Amino acid sequence: MENFYSADSVNDIEALVDKALKLKTDPFVDQSHKGKTAVLLFFNPSLRTRISTQKAAQNLGMHAITMNANQGWKWEMEDGAVMKFDTSEHIKDAARVISKYADVVGIRAFPGLENRDKDYRDEVMHAFMKYAEVPLVNLESSILHPCQSLADLITIRETQSKKKNKVVLSWAPHPKALPQAVSNSFLDWITKTENELVITHPKGYELNERFTKGCTIEYDQAKAFEGADYIYTKNWSSYEDYGKILNTDESWMISQDKMNLTNNGKFMHCLPVRRNVVVTDEVIDSENSLVFQQAENRVYAAQAAIHSLLSKSI
Amino acid sequence: MENFYSADSVNDIEALVDKALKLKTDPFVDQSHKGKTAVLLFFNPSLRTRISTQKAAQNLGMHAITMNANQGWKWEMEDGAVMKFDTSEHIKDAARVISKYADVVGIRAFPGLENRDKDYRDEVMHAFMKYAEVPLVNLESSILHPCQSLADLITIRETQSKKKNKVVLSWAPHPKALPQAVSNSFLDWITKTENELVITHPKGYELNERFTKGCTIEYDQAKAFEGADYIYTKNWSSYEDYGKILNTDESWMISQDKMNLTNNGKFMHCLPVRRNVVVTDEVIDSENSLVFQQAENRVYAAQAAIHSLLSKSI
Amino acid sequence: MENFYSADSVNDIEALVDKALKLKTDPFVDQSHKGKTAVLLFFNPSLRTRISTQKAAQNLGMHAITMNANQGWKWEMEDGAVMKFDTSEHIKDAARVISKYADVVGIRAFPGLENRDKDYRDEVMHAFMKYAEVPLVNLESSILHPCQSLADLITIRETQSKKKNKVVLSWAPHPKALPQAVSNSFLDWITKTENELVITHPKGYELNERFTKGCTIEYDQAKAFEGADYIYTKNWSSYEDYGKILNTDESWMISQDKMNLTNNGKFMHCLPVRRNVVVTDEVIDSENSLVFQQAENRVYAAQAAIHSLLSKSI
């Protein structure tokens, strides 16, 4: 693996899940990258990603240097720009400089949710992959969140009773306009496994076809839930009417009634979650809720990814 | 010890002071928790606490992951809340998630000084103690600062010439409304030692009876100082007229004249201190000032506390 | 070396360059300060300095505790001040306290660019050198940036084909008013080597005589470049008309035409740089550009400095 940007970065997803599960049983087993440095840059707030990735690096015996990058400078993205306005460093220079200090670099950079084309170009990540001399870990970009998705696959693997499950990605209401990254990324990864996927959301919330191609979309949430083994829940703002909230219909909240339609299905969410808006307390606090297991697996997802990047394996 | 929240958390205060003093003579002596992780969350600015606790963890061979938590999210405190407003994560979820990454968690969360009942419920700390699966270190809550108080007791132990000292907690003026946490906490801890305690402050500055019960309150500062072995100075805003400044009377500043009334008394303050408002340069710079020794002992207080939590001892 | 504040702090600059180059070939060779602590305080944004200094400390086996110090408190600088206004801690107390936690302290504190006398007193650094009980590393003060300058000398040493080079410090345009620290500091260090120095800038941009004394100033940029081996480029705001932008004349930008006047000269800049304002893409992306080598050498400059401070050598 050269970069950990999307599911396509990985040569063998199942092998990466295997590696993560092995690291979970013994986090310190491999110290072959001891003393190396991970530089983690956050343009946006982070709790889970920040702590879990730092811990992943430390489990490998590495140093983690973590920085907020949201104040003090703005990166120029355009090649050949005359930088007389508000950008103080070109991203190609930043990428090269950080390469001198890091063995692997992680970046979080959320979308603006105003200009769809710009957001979907995912410029910060692509610039780093182009210019940095060390591998990149995508810590949530404008459109993808592979560390989360790998943790999700690890969690499904740990809890599944059969190889082919019915997995439902369900939209749920939320008072704020959220990115599509977690949902896109879940599709990106889950569709490369043996599972069957159904997407359910109100009309107007269709995700980018690049991620939904070949997936079943079922606008009737109850019907989608029938016989499901996993309900993966997430709010996202509209892709079509980009970045907008079209609907806050409470009837889309995940409740026990709906979970009762499933095949004793497990509830999944990446967190943070708005309780009693996205999902009822009853569901998230039930035995079928996997949310804390997902959170825990973030460590081993990041650890497997970083290890594979530095070992040029998987 | 299960959590390090208040003096009542500790089974044997003198034994904890002993442990801290032993660690001070050899900070690296015990590496039995090497490789474990302390996650330290700061909702408010911190210099001493942040550096000393990080160093304490590192002395134990642990990793310290430190985060500012004052931007980017607001925690929901109410059970069963419908989270459609400004809170983006329930504290019970945050507590459980951080438990997956940390062996011990430290939190700083100051009071708002507007709603006394709310502040004195100390909700963030109690929620973490309820929901987190790992021990908590209180890095200064709305009402308590046990890391400081333990450091204070260590400093008294190091400098005392007899077992039972006259210790005076003296209010002093300050231009800003400050919390009562350091003062409450000092009372909480010192009253569990053999020392005699006298509190002195202008009328209207009476602290919460939970902490002052059984203590002598002397409104005449000069009289309180007579024969004192230790003068512990701190400003606090009113508990009665909650969060208000009732008095900035310069005559309450600690001066050498007042120190001359004591039994060659030592001067103590938790820092930061407003010089020539709270205390004169002459007193704080005198040989009898213990303020830097207190600051240094913050490391060993935190180290003893974290070690005891992880070892389930004392 | 007692502090790493300016070129005058160093007993033997060439020996310090030698040490840095030795560390570059084997960064982990000397672990004699393993387990010690560097506290790094940033009053201003930092990318290169923050990461490279942290890495330098970690290469030495040390712990690096890094903090933003730009919010939450303001330090009192004046001796004897009655602190009833906006300062919450005296710098002499902060310096002494940090000394209890750190074996070496690094501080970044930029100038205000409004009051020249105040800026040139460089109060934060001098107060720390006076009051801290541990050595100081200047991570860029109001007027000096020795970590950068040492990295610059290392880079010149690595790339020079002769011992005495013609080195030109050239002003270049910039849309914002920048400090004089990098330029002052480069003069401070380079003039203590065997190289010949020429300064070129538009009239009105004369730097403080303390740094330019004995240097050749050539107002004709083209003439200055003739036969030069190194072109060190930097914008600075006016010292005379303090902190002001007097000129944004594009003709002062470093272009290939100008580089062609040199003796196959190398291009140097401390980064971050405004491309196509300070320098053309063509020049900074050419084989003669040393900017990334300078950035990389920041690690070994900081590492050599910290090691010398802790070893009381060089």
Mean pLDDT of C148-171: 98
Strands of chain B, DSSP E: 37-42, 63-68, 75-76, 89-90, 104-108, 136-138, 166-171, 196-200, 216-217, 230-234, 266-268
Q: What is the CATH number of the domain that holds B133?
A: 3.40.50.1370
Same domain as A178, residue A125: no
Confirm if C259 and C265 have CB atoms less than 8 A apart. yes
Q: Which of A305, A270, A308 is nearest to A40 (CA)?
A: A305
pLDDT interval class at C190 (50, 70, 90): very high
Residues of C in contact with A80 (CB under 8 A): 276, 281
The answer to whether residue A239 is domain-embedded is yes
Residues of B in contact with C65 (CB under 8 A): 50-51, 54-55
Contact partners of A by the rule of 3+ C-beta pairs under 8 A?
A: B, C
* Residues pairing with A233 in the sheet: A170
Q: Least CA distance to A96: which residue of chain C?
A: C292
Q: Least CA distance to A89: which residue of chain C?
A: C272
The answer to whether residue B1 is domain-embedded is no
Residues of C in contact with A73 (CB under 8 A): 45, 47, 272
Burial pattern B274-294, b for ≥16 Cβ within 10 A else e, equals bbbbbbbbebbeeebbbbbbb
- Tell me the residues of chain B between 44 and 73 that have a Cβ less than 8 Å away from chain C: 44-48, 50-52, 54-55, 58
pLDDT interval class at C314 (50, 70, 90): confident
The answer to whether residue A265 is domain-embedded is yes
Tell whether the torsion through CA atoms of B8, B11, B15 and B21 is positive or negative.
Answer: negative
Half-sphere exposure of C229 (CA within 13 A, CB side): 15
φ, ψ dihedrals at C269, nearest 5°: -160, 145
Put simply, whether B177 touches A (Cβ < 8 Å) is no
The answer to whether residue B35 is domain-embedded is yes
Contact partners of B by the rule of 3+ C-beta pairs under 8 A?
A: A, C
Contact A276 B96 (CB under 8 A): no
Residue linked to tokens 């989270």:
B83
Per-residue tens of pLDDT for chain A, all 314 residues? 999 999 999 999 999 999 999 999 999 999 999 999 999 999 998 999 999 999 999 999 999 999 988 766 789 999 999 999 999 999 999 999 999 999 999 999 999 999 999 999 999 999 999 999 999 999 999 999 999 999 999 999 999 999 999 999 999 999 999 999 999 999 999 999 999 999 999 999 999 999 999 999 999 999 999 999 999 999 999 999 999 999 999 999 999 999 999 999 999 999 999 999 999 999 999 999 999 999 999 999 999 999 999 999 98
Residues of C in contact with A101 (CB under 8 A): 51-52, 55, 296, 299
Residues of C in contact with B55 (CB under 8 A): 37, 63, 65, 101
Those residues whose C-beta lies under 8 Å from the C-beta of residue B78, and which sit 6 or more positions away, are none
The answer to whether residue B2 is domain-embedded is no
In this complex, which of B71, B84, B88 lies closest to A272 when CB atoms are compared? Answer: B88
Same domain as B176, residue B46: no
User: C199-218 pLDDT, tens per residue?
Assistant: 999 999 999 999 999 999 99
**Range with lowest mean pLDDT among A41-50, C107-116, C155-164:** A41-50
Same domain as B180, residue B73: no
pLDDT recorded at residue B129: 97
The answer to whether residue A271 is domain-embedded is yes
Distance from CA of A310 to the nearest CA of C (A): 18
* Residues pairing with B217 in the sheet: B199
pLDDT recorded at residue B68: 87
User: C117-137 pLDDT, tens per residue?
Assistant: 999 999 999 999 999 999 999
Same domain as B167, residue B140: no
Output the six-digit token pair for C96: 């002494």
Same domain as B90, residue B20: yes
Mutate to test the interface with B, among A274, A282, A283 (most CBs of B within 10 A): A274
- The residues of chain B scoring below 50 in pLDDT are none
The percentage of chain C sitting over the pLDDT mark of 90, rounded to a whole number, equals 97
Same domain as B191, residue B126: no
Helix (H, G, I), strand (E, B) or coil at A92: helix
Residues of A in contact with B100 (CB under 8 A): 292, 295-296, 299
Same domain as B157, residue B277: yes
pLDDT recorded at residue A314: 87
- Whole domain around residue A79: which residue ranges? 7-145+298-311
φ, ψ dihedrals at B268, nearest 5°: -125, 145
Same domain as B174, residue B100: no
Residues of C in contact with A67 (CB under 8 A): 47, 50-51
Residues of B in contact with C100 (CB under 8 A): 292, 295-296, 299
Those residues whose C-beta lies under 8 Å from the C-beta of residue B193, and which sit 6 or more positions away, are B13, B14, B153, B156
Mean pLDDT of C278-289: 98
Contact C80 B281 (CB under 8 A): yes
Output the six-digit token pair for B25: 């003579």
Q: How far apart are CA A130 and CA A78, in angstroms?
A: 13
User: How many residue contacts between A and B have a Cβ separation below 8 Å?
Assistant: 72
Put simply, whether C271 touches A (Cβ < 8 Å) is yes
Q: Least CA distance to A62: which residue of chain B?
A: B63
Same domain as A257, residue A285: yes
Task: List, as one string, the DSSP characters of C96-159.
Answer: HHHHHH-SEEEEE----SS-HHHHHHTHHHHHHHHH-SS-EEESS-SS--HHHHHHHHHHHHHH
Number of domains in chain B: 2
Contact C272 A82 (CB under 8 A): no
Same domain as A276, residue A174: yes
Q: Give how far Cα A265 sits from Cα of A252, A258, B165, C42, C252, Å.
A: 17, 10, 65, 50, 68
In this complex, which of C65, C73, C85 lies closest to B272 when CB atoms are compared? Answer: C73
Q: Give how far Cα C104 sits from Cα of A85, A191, B53, B129, C47, Å.
A: 38, 52, 17, 36, 20
Q: How far apart are CA B125 and CA B109, in angstroms?
A: 8
Please name the helix (run of DSSP H) or strand (run of DSSP E) that holds residue A178, with its range, or none.
none
Residues of B in contact with A28 (CB under 8 A): 35
The percentage of chain C sitting over the pLDDT mark of 70, rounded to a whole number, equals 99
- Tell me the residues of chain A between 102 and 161 that have a Cβ less than 8 Å away from chain C: 102
Contact B83 A277 (CB under 8 A): yes
Same domain as C212, residue C262: yes
pLDDT recorded at residue C68: 87
Contact A67 C47 (CB under 8 A): yes
Put simply, whether C39 touches B (Cβ < 8 Å) is yes
Distance from CA of C80 to the nearest CA of B (A): 7
Complex-level ipTM: 0.95
Q: Least CA distance to C178: which residue of chain A?
A: A88
- ∠B90-A278-B106 over CA atoms, to 5°? 15
pLDDT interval class at C87 (50, 70, 90): very high
User: C55-84 pLDDT, tens per residue?
Assistant: 999 999 999 999 988 766 789 999 999 999
Please name the helix (run of DSSP H) or strand (run of DSSP E) that holds residue B265, with its range, or none.
none
The answer to whether residue A1 is domain-embedded is no
Put simply, whether B163 touches A (Cβ < 8 Å) is no
Put simply, whether A277 touches B (Cβ < 8 Å) is yes
Same domain as B15, residue B117: yes
Q: How far apart are CA C237 and CA C174, in angstroms?
A: 9
Q: Least CA distance to C44: which residue of chain A?
A: A72
The answer to whether residue B17 is domain-embedded is yes
